Chain A
Amino acid sequence: MGAATTRPDRLERFDRAERNVHWWSAALVGVCLLTAAALYVAPLATMVGRRSLVKDIHVASGLALPLPFVVALLGRWRTRLRQDLRRLNRFDEHDLRWLRSLGRDPWIERGKFNAGQKLNAAFSAGALLLLLATGSIMKWYSPFPLLWRTGATFVHDWVAFALVIVLIGHVGKALGDREALGAMTGGTVSRAWAIRKAPRWLAEHDEAAAGR
């Protein structure tokens, strides 16, 4: 990419489209969680009240959640996003070793994402799809068998519960590595960071730059 040649000490980790998907999705998830808390956590529910309005906001932001991702995949700007999705999907020998040692094996050469980040992406994608599906059943329950509404509520509650825990971990990790967080706000990381955190990605990056 141009960034690598003009500013060789900085590498572009996430392009504009990816950052937009991330932050729009994060905002919508945030609204969903806040409204969910106002509907679900008893002390908040009594304080905030206005169940009808809060419910409408929750449903609207939930239904809008796939939009940033879908729009990003439709446009010409999808190349980077698709490439990173392939990376997140595939677990190679290094990743499996990462999983077995929980990241402590010193011989792991990390690519652009480590196995924990890949699992987080997969879990979040699965969780959001489940929340969307079960939320839709809760909202439009009439075509479905009677028991499904209770079952959908049950799944919705537990998946949301698990997602909150994973999200706390995700945010905690981001705050613990300001440069990784900077990649999602400004788009780039330093070469020094890439050597430490993603050496195989750096090698790929330099190979591609040299070959161009």
Chain B
Amino acid sequence: MARVEASEAAAGAGGRAGGSVDGIPLGRRVVLGMLGLGAAGIVFGKAIQDRLARLLSPDLAALLPSGGRFRIYSVVGFLPRRSADAYRLRLDGMVERPLDLGFADLTGMPATALTRDFQCVTGWRVADVAWRGVKVRDLLDRAGVRPEATALRIHSFDGVYTESLTLDQARRDDVLVAYEMEGKPLSSPHGGPVRLLVAPMYGYKSLKWLDRIEVLDQVVPGFWEKRDYEIDAWVGRSNGRSDDPT
């Protein structure tokens, strides 16, 4: 490398003696080299990122751009907060008996524990997150869904965010109303005191700060789904992504 540079520098000096723009075009090479590395990074970046996430300690990973940690997203200009004491969950719409439950009503119902990877559609994935909550199916059965109903519209108490699920999707064993994460009460940044967890789908389906579940006879696209995200958001089979299923 050094020899090539020296000979090119000599050639450059011989070609244009005395001028201000002699020398080797190192600037252009730096730019082209970066573009080459970047192209390789686009193609192999996922493999590198997965390896980094395994190699780095969680503390270090939190400081560097890498994939293995939660990123906190909110679509409104604040972090929605509600205490467990003040918390209410409403389930209404096409049901026989609308529900209005407090936090203790939820924790008093049969609980389901679930440990699954959490995959965001923007690329990050957190391995083996432990959740605890109530199956949405149990809530639906308690309210008595009317036969003409086909879908749920789910509302956040941030006042803006909504999500959608078909009734079939909502009745899966791995779709929860979650109130615990990693053995602790669900914190506000993670959607506490109560959030939705749709384990087999991308993170945007797992609506945070759960306020209300509305039973309808049609699917109404949610917040991101009106902005081109897919409604049936199975991990690895939607949104143009090929992640391992969660």
Contact residues in A for B122 (Cβ distance below 8 Å):
153
Contact residues in B for A142 (Cβ distance below 8 Å):
240
Contact residues in A for B25 (Cβ distance below 8 Å):
89-91
Quick one: CB contact mask for B22-57 with A, threshold 8 Å, 1 for yes? 111111101101110010011111101100000000
A40 CA to B65 CA in the complex, in Å?
Answer: 10
The verdict on B74 contacting chain A, using a C-beta distance below 8 Å, is yes
A141 CA to B12 CA in the complex, in Å?
Answer: 43
Given contacts A149-B240, A151-B45, contact A90 B21 (CB under 8 A): yes
Given contacts A90-B12, A130-B38, A141-B240, contact A155 B45 (CB under 8 A): yes
Contact residues in A for B43 (Cβ distance below 8 Å):
147-148, 151
Tally A-B pairs: CB < 8 A.
153
Quick one: CB contact mask for A136-168 with B, threshold 8 Å, 1 for yes? 010001100011111111110111110000000
A40 CA to B77 CA in the complex, in Å?
Answer: 15
Contact check, A89 vs B79: say whether CB atoms are below 8 A apart: no
Given contacts A146-B240, A155-B38, contact A47 B79 (CB under 8 A): yes
CB-nearest residue of chain B relative to A119?
B30
A interface majority secondary structure = helix
Q: Select one of B24, B49, B76 contacting A49, CB under 8 A.
A: B76
With an 8 Å Cβ cutoff, the count of chain B residues facing the other chain is 46
Contact check, B45 vs A154: say whether CB atoms are below 8 A apart: yes
Q: Select one of A90, A127, A137, A161 contacting B23, CB under 8 A.
A: A90
Contact check, B30 vs A126: say whether CB atoms are below 8 A apart: yes
Contact check, A91 vs B27: say whether CB atoms are below 8 A apart: yes
Contact check, A150 vs B20: say whether CB atoms are below 8 A apart: no
Contact check, B73 vs A51: say whether CB atoms are below 8 A apart: yes
CB-nearest residue of chain A relative to B62?
A42
A112 CA to B21 CA in the complex, in Å?
Answer: 10
Contact residues in A for B189 (Cβ distance below 8 Å):
42, 46
Given contacts A130-B35, A158-B65, A161-B65, contact A95 B41 (CB under 8 A): no
Quick one: CB contact mask for B118-155 with A, threshold 8 Å, 1 for yes? 00001100000000000000000000000000000000
Contact residues in A for B33 (Cβ distance below 8 Å):
126
Given contacts A146-B242, A161-B65, contact A45 B71 (CB under 8 A): yes
Contact check, A121 vs B23: say whether CB atoms are below 8 A apart: no
Extra contacts besides A42-B71, A119-B27, A153-B122 (10): CB < 8 Å: A89-B28, A90-B23, A118-B26, A123-B34, A130-B35, A142-B240, A147-B242, A148-B42, A150-B67, A154-B49
